[in-house]
């Protein structure tokens, strides 16, 4: 890695943060369930750190998001006392910490996803901004399905705590909308920065939208291949 000390520092800081917030959580079972995906994410990052190291920006954004999530898993999202920490945010009938984390998911993880698309799939121009937005939206939807499945499987208070709808029938839709908004904002900022700093930004954008294969695919492509085989 080009900057192992920086990534190592983030890893140590997060380990200390996670240990501190893992002490006496509100509901131990809910805490374990909430952090299952976190463990998988960290394991994936550790396994690919040498073969596919991300930028410091991406690692930092992931670090901040995981720290925010860790606080929510300690209390369960519906009970995070953010109004006590920041009185100017007010109280209200509903706890909005889960909404904040879903927005942060899109805002902070769309950029690392973009880096993955650019470096692995080689996308450019329009697709370098649209595809990270699209994948962030789809993974947000997938997480809502995981929440629903876990609530059905575990049931009872654990299922309710993990689902965290707080009586709002449109909770999943609002969560997905906020994640999408965060990702849209992140990609808009990234596009603006690139527009200001890259000389070929407009040319690359236009080129990415140019038709690369003029012939239609589908059954016509199959017919062409069949004709080629016969000849």
Separation CA 15–CA 66 (nearest Å): 11
Q: 212 pLDDT exceeds 70? A: yes
pLDDT at 152: 78
Q: What is the pLDDT of residues 33-69, one digit of tens each?
A: 889 989 999 999 999 999 999 999 999 999 999 999 9
Residue 141's alpha-carbon distances to 71, 106, 144, in angstroms, are 22, 12, 5
CB atoms within 10 A of CB 4: 12
Q: 117 pLDDT exceeds 60? A: yes
Return the minimum-mean-pLDDT range out of 22-36, 95-109, 163-177.
Answer: 163-177
Give yes or no for a contact between 66 and 41, defined as CB atoms under 8 angstroms apart.
yes
CB atoms within 10 A of CB 66: 19
pLDDT at 68: 96
pTM of the model: 0.88
């Amino acid at each position: 890695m080009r900057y192992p000390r920086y990534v190592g520092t983030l890893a140590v800081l997060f380990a200390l943060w996670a240990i501190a917030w893992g002490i006496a959580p509100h509901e131990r079972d809910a805490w374990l369930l909430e952090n299952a995906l976190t463990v998988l994410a960290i394991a994936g990052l550790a396994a690919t750190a040498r073969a596919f190291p991300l930028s410091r920006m991406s690692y930092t954004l992931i670090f901040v998001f995981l720290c925010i999530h860790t606080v929510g898993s300690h209390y369960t999202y519906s009970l995070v006392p953010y109004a006590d920490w920041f009185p100017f945010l007010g109280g209200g009938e509903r706890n909005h910490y889960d909404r904040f984390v879903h927005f942060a998911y899109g805002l902070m993880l769309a950029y690392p996803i973009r880096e993955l698309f650019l470096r692995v799939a080689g996308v450019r121009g329009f697709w370098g901004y649209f595809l990270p937005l699209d994948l962030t939206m789809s993974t947000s939807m997938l997480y809502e399905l995981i929440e629903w499945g876990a609530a059905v499987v575990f049931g009872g208070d654990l299922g309710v705590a993990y689902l965290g709808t707080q009586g709002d029938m449109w909770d999943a839709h609002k969560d997905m909308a906020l994640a999408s908004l965060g990702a849209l904002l992140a990609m808009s900022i990234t596009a603006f920065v690139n527009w200001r700093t890259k000389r070929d930004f407009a040319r690359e954008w236009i080129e990415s939208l140019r038709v690369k294969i003029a012939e239609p695919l589908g059954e016509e492509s199959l017919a062409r291949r069949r004709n080629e085989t016969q000849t």
